[in-house]
Structure 1
Amino acid sequence: MEQQLKKPELLAPAGNLEKLKFAIHYGADAVYIGGQQFGLRSKAGNFTFEEMKEGVDFANQYGAKVYVATNIIAHNENLVGAQAYFKKLYEVGISAVIAADPALIQACRQAAPDLEVHISTQASIANWKTVEFWKNEGIPRVVLAREVSVQEIKEMKEKVDIEIEAFVHGAMCISYSGRCVLSNHMTARDANRGGCAQSCRWKYDLFEDGIDDDAAISEQADEDYTMSAQDLSMVEHLPDLIEAGVDSLKIEGRMKSIHYVATVVNVYRKIIDSYFDSPDQFELNPEWVDEIWKAAQRSLSTAFYYNEPTHRDQLYGKPERIPKFDFAGLVLDYDEQTQIATIQQRNNFGVGDEVEFFGPNFYHFKQTITELWNEKGEPIDRAKHAMMITKIKVDQPLNYYDMMRKQK
């Protein structure tokens, strides 16, 4: 008898409390966040314990989980307070921590033995024997290195009974599993302790080795060279990862915008649910791919999942022209009788602009703004002020937390 496929968890990034709520509202089964210690995104809107508690309470209303990244490579001074930190995470209701350093894993187990530990992608797990090692250590889930293939994942699942989490969308690091030393060397900001300066995305001149000449080879090119990879996207190949047995499909991007989080989660939620509604008849809807490009910041690639990446998976030369969209407004209310929506402004918009409304479960429609009022009901031409409350005549019904965007 053929084994029935298990629907994977959709795991989304949440750089702050507002992004957490959007991610869950738009379909994430779980979110991962950073606290104010031990995480690799020091510039993200990292959570206080009070914000974590509010996030956990919100997630519980939707049956979702909250994980905390504690994935730095720790130096001696970084270990101070670790046990107290993990104990507090358990007390506020965090479902699991994501860690790579054995010292932090040990600290968590000593201070909060009932708090799950997931092994971070920073541990560079790329073979089934390493997966087996962590299972024997009592770890319930590993986050794979981004350098593994679909075939390697299948072998891991066949040989080891453990949950596997794999990235499906977002930025790729040019260093192996994010173990970067460029940032530290060039800026004294340690990427392995949360200070990445994204040195690989800078533009560089290229010189020929051994030639004593100030003229850079790259001056002959249309664009300076970078060491930057295209972003990962498995939006067109998600069934391959589901059928390989991946238990959690992870979206990268705790530093990304609310528009990015909501859009990407919405698409992957739709694909997962559509596939499980009818696996044998599943077909990819081109609209789902088009939607992903509305949130894309760079060209997209399948990275290591099918072949070793080549120069085609790098960013060089003239960048691909990608349409840019602004998160223009958040729907706060909708009146069925008048067909007027109350919108909180997030970016400048006004009468005559074509906008697109979208919401969970891939609800979309476009229209031109023909009538616009301020909070007092006075007619205005543009919503110029940040977070101002406006009212718009809309063509179709809307719901709280639907979003309005506008092409730049």
Structure 2
Amino acid sequence: MNKPELLVTPGSVDEIKKQIEAGADAFLIGEQRYGLRLAGEFNREQINEAVTLAQEYGKKVYVAVNAIFHNQIANELDDYVAFVKETGADALVFGDPAVIMAVRETTPGFPLHWSPETIATNYYTANYWGRRGAVRAVLARELSMDAIIEMKEHAEVEIEVQVHGMTCMFQSKRPLLGHYFEYMGNNMEIEKRQGTQNMLLHDEERSNKYPIYEDINGTHIMSPNDMCIIDELQDMVDAGIDSFKIDGVLQTEAYRIEVTKLYRKAIDLCIDNPDQYEDEKEQLLQAAEELQQEHRPLDSGFFFKETVY
């Protein structure tokens, strides 16, 4: 049985070493200029350091180039893609076909992971991009367990599934927070809003609090709950899902490391001792719940309910 990769989103090069010790197999990093909703900002020097460190331990690094590109940044892709290839990174994560064109121009054959957010919902489209250079599809967070397993059965590419963390509900390229503070007469520099963890939209009617933050890619509003299916991994392991992702955006380093340890144990049990996993999965879920902030309960996302588009 294939053991799924445990993919995490570190906040720094220093955290990568700790995540390796916690059991992570691969890391998603990058620059905000080219990648969406990253847990940390990695400049070119830090990307080089991260790849070197990961390779020392036999781990993988994927670089996010999945932002919404306008002409100015699209014109920079040839140079950036060539740089990423030179670092020895294992793949580029992309959503825009402009990245494929840059790869064909500068680094033919460089592995690509197709990650178009909410539109990765069927295996036909995943296979379409597979025939154009993608080796992996990063599935939409809004899919049910049955749909995920069906996609794996028919996919010609690897399948990556987020199993823990926030989900983006809304993105605008406009600096909506900046406009709001300007309107209120309380100007606030964008640097002070990047990565802020205590800005929430409060829906009093539903008692929900939605994290909101702004970076150079615009304004992002996140889900009020964190997805967690640490107690529901066995079916996807049995189906051969290739990669389980923990999204650690807007979380602390300590939180990300502890969650990685829990999923490392869960995945290993699913492979080596499924009966023991069944006995311990409720304890693993309880341990995950104990890590949560009071205003961020855990739920199972859309894994067991239908999404209506």
TM over 0.5: yes
Of 51, 54, 69, 1:59 maps to 54
- Relative to the length of structure 1, the TM-score reads 0.63
> Unpaired segments of 5 or more residues in structure 1?
190-194, 206-217, 311-408
Alignment of 1:152-231 (within 5 A): 152-175=147-170, 180-181=171-172, 184-185=175-176, 187=178, 201-204=200-203, 228-231=223-226
Aligned residues, how many?
282
The 3-state SS of whatever aligns with 1:38 is coil
Of 283, 286, 309, 1:290 maps to 286
Counterpart-to-counterpart distance in 2, 1:269 and 1:65: 16
Change in 2 beyond 3 A, CA 1:123/1:136: farther
Alignment of 1:4-403 (within 5 A): 5-35=1-31, 37-41=33-37, 45-122=40-117, 124-175=119-170, 180-181=171-172, 184-185=175-176, 187=178, 201-204=200-203, 228-280=223-275, 282-285=277-280, 286-297=282-293, 298-308=296-306
Counterpart-to-counterpart distance in 1, 2:82 and 2:14: 25
Counterpart-to-counterpart distance in 2, 1:309 and 1:155: 16
Counterpart-to-counterpart distance in 2, 1:252 and 1:86: 23
The 3-state SS of whatever aligns with 1:283 is helix
Counterpart-to-counterpart distance in 2, 1:236 and 1:109: 41
Amino acid at match of 1:98: V
Identity level (%) = 36
Counterpart-to-counterpart distance in 2, 1:145 and 1:32: 17
Change in 2 beyond 3 A, CA 1:260/1:202: same
Q: Report the equivalent of 1:336.
A: none
8 A contact 1:23–1:31 mirrored in 2: no
Counterpart-to-counterpart distance in 2, 1:186 and 1:201: 11
Amino acid at match of 2:156: D
Amino acid at match of 1:31: F
8 A contact 1:143–1:165 mirrored in 2: yes
Q: CA offset at residue 290 of structure 1?
A: 2.9
Q: CA offset at residue 294 of structure 1?
A: 3.4
Q: CA offset at residue 62 of structure 1?
A: 1.7
RMSD: 2.9
Q: Between Structure 1 and Structure 2, which shows a larger proportion of helix residues?
A: 2
The 3-state SS of whatever aligns with 1:142 is strand
8 A contact 1:168–1:251 mirrored in 2: yes
8 A contact 1:153–1:244 mirrored in 2: no
Amino acid at match of 1:148: L
Q: CA offset at residue 70 of structure 1?
A: 1.0
Q: Report the equivalent of 1:361.
A: none
Change in 2 beyond 3 A, CA 1:225/1:114: closer
Change in 2 beyond 3 A, CA 1:129/1:309: closer
Counterpart-to-counterpart distance in 2, 1:273 and 1:283: 12
Counterpart-to-counterpart distance in 1, 2:209 and 2:156: 43
Change in 2 beyond 3 A, CA 1:119/1:59: same
The 3-state SS of whatever aligns with 2:291 is coil
The 3-state SS of whatever aligns with 1:66 is strand
CA deviation map 1:261-318 (0-9, x unaligned):
11011000001111211235532424322321233231011111111379xxxxxxxx
8 A contact 1:169–1:251 mirrored in 2: yes
8 A contact 2:142–2:307 mirrored in 1: no
Counterpart-to-counterpart distance in 2, 1:116 and 1:154: 23
Counterpart-to-counterpart distance in 2, 1:259 and 1:110: 41
Counterpart-to-counterpart distance in 1, 2:48 and 2:106: 19
Q: Which has the larger radius of gyration?
A: 1
Change in 2 beyond 3 A, CA 1:93/1:224: closer
Q: CA offset at residue 156 of structure 1?
A: 1.3
The 3-state SS of whatever aligns with 1:282 is helix
Counterpart-to-counterpart distance in 1, 2:84 and 2:173: 32
Amino acid at match of 2:123: W
8 A contact 1:38–1:70 mirrored in 2: yes
CA deviation map 1:141-189 (0-9, x unaligned):
01001011111112112222210001000002224xxxx2396556469
